[in-house]
């Protein structure tokens, strides 16, 4: 009977030990693959009666699968576009119909829209509103024309940045650190000069004025480090002739470097996330088909060019994906006898400019093109109980767009490594307490740092991409004792030690039963 009781107790203890979970066991990880970025184009459809400005639309194109959805409004014409850094809202400039009860009129407007549908959440009308618009890196201010919109209070302040010899506003951009707002201002004809003016965002005090002599420039974008502005337009010769140019402006000195072209350039430009390239379009004319160019900004040379379908008066509007892998262009196709005007939305390989895909929409103009900002991953990290080795697990981390491409590990003991998988093992050489860190990078290249190019965020970096966990590595076992020191090491589950002790007692009881069984005398009738 005693043998049966001892055996049963031992099995019960072993069963408890077998199902006791590790102290740091994580829940099953969610899928770490996020949704696709979208490229958004603002389009116009002329009306048959010719009495309205036109029917406005936003076309949302999926970068992943090329699917397209479109929302159209007869009383709303969005033109300039920009996403908030968190990709939750889409701001637009343009025009909409305001009904005062007696007559409906078109007025310039600034609108906040749902990023998924494009529907207007709120709108401010009768303001100085242009296609050229910029959103500050912290999304607190929008600048367009002579209007500064406080996005928290929705108050509009008038600020005349373009005054004096260059009174006409053409473009604006914020510095990536959010401290300076730049305005591109042009003078009255026949003056060939453009001025690039910088103002302190907090005080609106002037910080710099660069006179761009003999240049009439239309557009400004910045490199992500804020050191260079890129603009397109014309250089005017002494005899009054013009040469289309892409102009590189050093924002510390105002020094100019031009790259000349034969045909007029589009009124848009885009910069790669690493700041190495600018993308511009060369407009078509009667005997020339449009061209898409990639410009090396270090050497101010054309790195590569590719044909671009007839792109109309404004040229193509452009956007670069957050990972820098694709360039999107919205170019105008002239109507024929059989076909109405069309806009061609084309995706190009950023290195070669080869066409990857194209989609066509019936429209007479594409005003602007923007892309969803990539978001930083959200890191979550656990560690197994300290032993040899320790397993670190970041598989519960998530990402909003794309996937998690890189896990950069720092184990806190001077050892680091980078993996493409969410788990890693590490053996500590010495006892002690160590803080291990993992820093994640999305497939779009986003981690903790922002990438901003003057008008809106391209990569919205955040501290959420980093997670830490502390592990306590115990002292090594005392030779000959079979145990490590006088007390259980920090970080171990106390219940495990108790159950282990019970297991040792039960094992001893089983041994006693076996010994007693062996010394019992045999029965006489055996």
Among the listed ranges 116-130, 131-145, 159-173, 439-453, which one has the minimum average pLDDT value?
116-130
pLDDT tens digits, 375-431: 999 999 999 987 779 999 999 999 999 999 999 999 999 999 999 999 999 999 999
- Give all strands (DSSP E) within 237-381, no chain letters: 242-250, 256-260, 265-271, 277-282, 291-296, 301-307, 317-320, 326-333, 342-349, 355-362, 365-371, 374-375
The model's confidence at residue 49, banded by pLDDT at 50, 70 and 90, is low
Q: Give the model's pLDDT for residue 87.
A: 96
Q: Give the model's pLDDT for residue 33.
A: 61
Among the listed ranges 149-153, 301-305, 333-337, which one has the minimum average pLDDT value?
333-337
Q: Give the model's pLDDT for residue 334.
A: 63
- Percent of the chain residues topping a pLDDT of 70: 78
pLDDT above 90 (res 75): no
Burial of 220 (0-12, 13-18, 19+ CB in 10 A): buried
Q: 323 vs 334, which has greater pLDDT?
A: 323
pLDDT above 70 (res 335): no
CA–CA distances in Å: residue 154 to residues 77, 125, 419, 520: 20, 11, 45, 95
According to DSSP, the β-strands at 404-410 and 432-442 are antiparallel
In a domain, 335, yes or no: no
In a domain, 123, yes or no: no
Q: 29 vs 165, which has greater pLDDT?
A: 165
pLDDT above 60 (res 106): yes
Residues making up the chain, counted from first to last: 526
CATH of the domain at 415: 2.60.40.10
Instruction: Give the closest residue to 408 by CA, choosing from 428, 394, 398.
Output: 394
In a domain, 496, yes or no: no
In a domain, 360, yes or no: no
pLDDT tens digits, 10-29: 333 333 333 333 333 334 44
Cβ-proximal residues to 308 (8 Å cutoff; 6+ apart), any chain: 281, 282, 289, 290, 291, 292, 316, 329, 331, 346
How distant is the alpha carbon of residue 128 from its chain centre? 29
pLDDT tens digits, 111-150: 999 999 999 999 998 888 778 899 999 999 999 989 999 9
According to DSSP, the β-strands at 317-320 and 326-333 are antiparallel
Cβ-proximal residues to 75 (8 Å cutoff; 6+ apart), any chain: 96, 97, 104
In a domain, 127, yes or no: no
Phi first, then psi: give them for residue 253, nearest 5 degrees.
-120, -20
pLDDT above 80 (res 336): no
Domain holding 469, by residue range, is: 21-32+376-473
Number of domains in the chain: 1
C-alpha–C-alpha distance, residues 393 and 384, integer Å: 8
Give all strands of the β-sheet with 390-393 in edge-to-edge order: 382-383, 390-393, 423-426
The model's confidence at residue 506, banded by pLDDT at 50, 70 and 90, is very low
In a domain, 395, yes or no: yes
Instruction: Give ∠ CA 28-32-34 in degrees, rounded to 5.
Output: 140
Q: 354 vs 54, which has greater pLDDT?
A: 354
CB 312 within 8 A of CB 32: no
Mean pLDDT value across the chain: 83
DSSP 11: H
Q: What is the DSSP string of 223-258?
A: -TTSSEEEEEEEEEPTTS-EEEEEEEEETTT--EEE
In a domain, 244, yes or no: no
In a domain, 48, yes or no: no
Q: Which residue bears the tokens 């459809």?
A: 45
Among the listed ranges 102-111, 115-124, 241-250, which one has the minimum average pLDDT value?
102-111
- Could you tell me the sign of the dihedral formed by the alpha carbons of 111, 114, 115, 116, in that order? negative
C-alpha–C-alpha distance, residues 158 and 153, integer Å: 15
**φ/ψ bin of 403: left (φ > 0), alpha (ψ from -120 to 50), beta (otherwise):** beta
Instruction: Give the closest residue to 440 by CA, choosing from 87, 15, 32.
Output: 32
As given in the structure block, the two tokens for residue 454 are 């003057």
Most confident segment among 263-267, 275-279, 426-430 = 275-279
């Amino acid at each position: 009977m005693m043998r049966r009781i001892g055996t049963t107790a031992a099995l019960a203890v072993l069963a408890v030990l077998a199902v006791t979970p590790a102290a740091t066991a994580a829940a099953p990880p969610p899928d770490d693959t996020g949704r696709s970025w979208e490229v958004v184009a603002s389009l116009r459809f002329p009306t048959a009666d010719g009495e309205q400005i036109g029917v406005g639309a936003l076309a949302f194109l999926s970068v992943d699968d090329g699917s397209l959805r479109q929302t159209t409004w007869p009383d709303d014409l969005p033109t300039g576009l920009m996403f908030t850094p968190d990709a939750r809202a889409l701001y637009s400039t343009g025009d909409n119909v305001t009904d005062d009860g007696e007559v409906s009129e078109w007025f310039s407007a600034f609108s906040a829209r749902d990023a998924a549908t494009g529907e207007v959440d709120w709108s401010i009308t009768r303001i100085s509103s242009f296609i050229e618009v910029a959103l500050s890196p912290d999304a607190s201010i929008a600048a367009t024309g002579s209007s500064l919109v406080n996005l928290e209070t929705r108050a509009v302040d008038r600020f005349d940045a373009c005054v004096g010899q260059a009174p006409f506003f053409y473009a604006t951009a914020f510095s990536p650190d959010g401290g300076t707002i730049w305005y591109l201002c042009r003078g009255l004809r026949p003056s060939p000069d453009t001025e690039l003016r910088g103002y302190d965002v907090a005080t609106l005090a002037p910080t710099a004025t660069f006179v761009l002599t003999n240049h009439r420039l239309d557009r400004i974008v910045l490199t992500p480090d804020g050191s260079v502005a890129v603009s397109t337009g014309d250089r005017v010769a002494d005899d009054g002739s013009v040469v289309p140019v892409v102009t590189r402006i050093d924002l510390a000195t105002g020094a100019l470097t031009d790259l000349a072209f034969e045909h007029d350039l589009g009124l848009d430009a885009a910069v790669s996330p690493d700041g190495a390239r600018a993308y511009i379009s060369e407009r078509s004319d009667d005997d020339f088909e449009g061209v898409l160019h990639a410009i090396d900004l270090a050497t101010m040379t054309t790195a590569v060019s590719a044909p671009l379908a007839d792109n109309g008066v404004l040229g193509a509007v452009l956007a670069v994906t957050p990972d820098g892998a694709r360039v999107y262009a919205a170019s105008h196709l002239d109507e024929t006898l059989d076909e109405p005007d069309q806009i061609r939305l084309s995706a190009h390989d950023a290195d070669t400019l080869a066409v990857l895909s194209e989609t066509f929409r019936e429209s007479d103009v594409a005003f602007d093109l923007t892309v969803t900002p990539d978001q930083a991953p959200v890191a979550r990290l656990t560690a197994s109980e300290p032993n040899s080795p320790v397993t670190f697990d970041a598989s519960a981390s998530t990402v909003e767009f794309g996937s998690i491409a890189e896990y950069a590990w720092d184990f806190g003991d001077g050892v680091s490594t980078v993996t493409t998988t969410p788990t890693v093992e590490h053996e500590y050489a010495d006892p002690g307490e160590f803080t291990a860190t993992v820093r994640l990078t999305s497939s779009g290249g986003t981690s903790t740092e922002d990438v901003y190019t003057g008008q809106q965020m391209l990569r919205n970096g955040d501290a959420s991409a980093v997670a830490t966990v502390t592990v306590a590595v115990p002292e090594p076992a005392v030779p000959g004792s079979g145990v490590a020191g006088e007390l259980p090491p920090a970080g171990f589950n106390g219940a495990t030690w108790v159950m282990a002790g019970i297991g040792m007692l039960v094992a001893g009881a089983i041994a006693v039963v076996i010994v007693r069984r062996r010394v019992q005398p045999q029965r006489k009738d055996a």
